[in-house]
């Protein structure tokens, strides 16, 4: 059978970057509803940035079947949205006179430790993330909920900053892998050409 030119796509739920971005979104909705005036522009902007960081991973994953260029573009948009959200949390802490945790502080290390088993795993494209065992549990907001929903705002903001850094790390790795795959395999046009040539070869006596 001739290999198709549309590769496997979707399955974004298994992307570690998506799982982290979803946690960041859930945590941001809670943070903004509790600590930011719901009528303020900042409230809406932060929630929208968190949503964009999540949804563009979804769109990129679904678009990957027919456009690797679009997948890379949307994944980069997700990365930019996370960076925008990171700046908002830093602004919140700075304007309130609170400290941002150093990455090597015991607090930051503790938060990283909660998700260590996940951030150490690959965050690759379909050839890697689809191979995860079905026995593995899905990391979710529930892991961080006891801390996010019981601590003061300066602590919660720092926890979410740690989560954004983890998400950005995963997105950076994902973008690098997407670049490698694109340089190796090309986009849809190249795949269509290869599939057509393979089909012609197999059709010969």
Percentage of residues in the chain having pLDDT higher than 70? 73
Q: How confident is the model at residue 31 (pLDDT cuts 50, 70, 90)?
A: very high
Percentage of residues in the chain having pLDDT higher than 90? 62
pLDDT at 106 over 80: yes
pLDDT at 128 over 70: no
pLDDT at 186 over 70: no
pLDDT at 133 over 70: no
* For the chain, domain boundaries: 12-120+146-202
- Report how far residue 203's alpha carbon sits from residue 205's, in angstroms, rounded to the nearest whole number: 7
pLDDT at 141 over 90: yes
Residue partners of 201: CB distance under 8 A and separation at least 6: none
Q: What is the 3-state secondary structure (H, E, C) of the chain?
A: CCCCCCCCCCCHHHCHHHHHHHHHHHHHHHHHHHHCCCCCHHHHHHHHHHHHHHHHHHHHHHHCCCCHHHHHHHHHHHHHHHHHHHHHHHHHHHHCCCCCCCCCCHHHHHHHHHCHHHHCCCCCCHHHHCCCCCCCCCCCHHHCHHHHCCCCHHHHHHHHHHHHHHHHHHHHHHHHHHHHHHHHHCCHHHHHHHHHHHHHHHCCC
pLDDT at 125 over 60: no
pLDDT higher for 170 or 130?
170
> Tokens 């941001």 appear where?
28
- Report how far residue 84's alpha carbon sits from residue 91's, in angstroms, rounded to the nearest whole number: 11
Distance from the Cα of residue 166 to its chain's centroid: 9
Rounded to the nearest integer, the mean pLDDT of the chain is 83
């Amino acid at each position: 059978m001739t290999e198709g030119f549309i590769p496997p796509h979707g399955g974004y739920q298994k992307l570690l970057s998506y799982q982290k971005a979803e946690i960041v979104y859930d945590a941001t909705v809670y943070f903004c509803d509790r600590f930011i005036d719901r009528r303020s522009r900042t409230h809406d902007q932060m929630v929208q940035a968190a949503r964009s960081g999540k949804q563009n991973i979804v769109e990129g994953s679904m678009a990957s079947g027919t456009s690797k260029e679009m997948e890379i573009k949307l994944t980069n948009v997700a990365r930019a949205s996370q960076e925008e959200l990171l700046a908002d949390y830093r602004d919140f802490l700075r304007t309130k006179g609170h400290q941002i945790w150093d990455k090597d502080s015991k607090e930051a290390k503790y938060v990283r430790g909660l998700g260590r088993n996940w951030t150490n795993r690959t965050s690759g494209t379909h050839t890697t993330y689809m191979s995860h065992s079905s026995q593995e549990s899905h990391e979710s907001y529930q892991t961080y909920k006891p801390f996010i929903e019981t601590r003061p705002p300066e602590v919660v903001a720092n926890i979410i900053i740690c989560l954004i850094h983890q998400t950005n790390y995963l997105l950076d790795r994902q973008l690098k892998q997407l670049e490698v795959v694109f340089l190796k395999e090309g986009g849809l046009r190249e795949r269509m050409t290869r599939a057509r040539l393979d089909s012609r070869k197999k059709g010969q006596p």
